[in-house]
Amino acid sequence: MATVQELSNFLAQVERRAFKQVAYAVRDDHAALDIVQDAMLKLAENYSSRPPAEYPMLFQRILQNTMKDFWRRQKVRNLWTTLFSSFGSGSEDDDEVDILETLESDDYDDADEPQAQLEQKQTIAIIEEALQKLPARQREAFIMRYWEDMDVAETASAMGCSEGSVKTHCSRAVHSLALMLEKHDLTKRVLEKKEGRDESGT
């Protein structure tokens, strides 16, 4: 059985990425936090006897299933808020944050920010928007392979598909993202080797 320290390290390491990953899929920060929390609990309760090396794959698999549960229960969950808001006080709904909207408004609000930083923020917003628009399987494959740094076999195992499918999903995802960057004329900004912007201290 893994030690508390091992589990703690693993969770601390993946939690922020996991949150983002889920937020891209469900587009609701609160729901994303709930899903990540459920997934963490399930990992701790049901799989903590497995070797820590398997955690990334297991956690991804649990995340996928928890998200599926979320879609399935979406109506059910909404029930509590629907019933509530039909009485007009509806404070619950005010909590909902649309990520894209937030990012967009950030872009407009930050007029004083140094240009390079602003550019980077805009680029990230566009990438995140593109990620949200990707078909779910492509997005998951992309995130696991490239962000979580899992190999093709692990990704396939977490997604319950063949390694060939993983490669296809990844390839299509990268193509779509690259196209989107091109469309916004950002290819140079993201893909050119020189990254003086990063080091020049914005």
Sites of contact with other proteins (CB under 8 A): 1-5, 7-8, 11-12, 15-17, 19-20, 25, 29, 33-34, 36-38, 40-45, 48-49, 67-68, 71-76, 79-84, 87, 89, 91-92, 120, 123-124, 127-128, 135-138, 142, 145-147, 170-171, 174-175, 177-178, 190-191
191: left (phi over 0), alpha (psi -120 to 50) or beta: alpha
User: What is the token pair recorded at 41?
Assistant: 């609990």
Task: Write down the least CB distance from residue 49 to other proteins, Å.
Answer: 8
Task: Write down the least CB distance from residue 8 to other proteins, Å.
Answer: 6
Taking each helix axis as running N to C, give the angle between helix 29-46 and helix 4-26, from 0 to 180 degrees, rounded to the nearest 10: 150
Our CB check for other proteins shows the closer of 44 and 100 to be: 44
Task: Write down the least CB distance from residue 195 to other proteins, Å.
Answer: 9
Report how far residue 111's alpha carbon sits from residue 119's, in angstroms, rounded to the nearest whole number. 11
Whether residue 141 contacts residue 173, with contact meaning beta carbons closer than 8 Å, is answered with: yes
Cα–Cα nearest to 179, from 134, 112, 113, 121 = 134
Our CB check for other proteins shows the closer of 122 and 157 to be: 122
Task: Write down the least CB distance from residue 188 to other proteins, Å.
Answer: 11
Our CB check for other proteins shows the closer of 57 and 143 to be: 143
Our CB check for other proteins shows the closer of 57 and 139 to be: 139
Q: Quick one: DSSP state of residue 53?
A: G
Report how far residue 39's alpha carbon sits from residue 27's, in angstroms, rounded to the nearest whole number. 17
